[in-house]
Structure 1
Amino acid sequence: MPKERVEEIKYAIVQSDILSEEDKSQSMRHLEEWVAEDKAFGIVYNELLEVSEVFKEIFKDLGLA
């Protein structure tokens, strides 16, 4: 997810009149975790591709490419 989009979501969470403070806090924690996981997957993906181009097919078969 593009960084700009993540920032838009964070802003919407903070500005929400519907979410409780606890919901806002929990949502922000989850969002940060998902962003970190997404970055980690990108790093792993790229590193495995450096090991072998075969990983392109493996990722494709898994629906990850």
Structure 2
Amino acid sequence: MGAALAIAGASIGAAIAVAYTGAAALAVMSERPELFGRAMVIVGLAEGIAIYGLVVAIILLGKT
């Protein structure tokens, strides 16, 4: 149950973060296309939240 909550919470949080940062990144790239790399790094950091949730779930499953 804890592993499922870890993945669900992290995935929902990552989805919200990617939605906001992705929209902002597209807005910035429409005006300054040279900032593509920086924008993708920010979106990647937001996606990292889901990966952290997966790691926590694996650790929780390993303890049982």
Instruction: State the TM-score, normalizing by the size of structure 1.
Output: 0.52
Q: Which has the higher contact order (CA 8 A, sep 6+)?
A: 2
Identify, as 1 or 2, the structure richer in helix.
2
Q: Could you list the runs of 5+ residues in structure 2 that have no partner in the other structure?
A: 1-12
Runs of 4+ in 1 over 4 A off after TM superposition: none
Instruction: State, as a whole percentage, how many aligned pairs show the same letter.
Output: 12
Match of 1:45 among 48, 56, 63: 56
Cα deviation digits, residues 26-49 of structure 1 (max 9, x gap): 1332134321x3222211111111
Q: Identify the residue that residue 31 of structure 1 maps to in structure 2.
A: 42
Aligned-pair Cα RMSD in Å: 2.6
- Matched pairs, number: 50
Gaps of 5+ in 1: 54-65
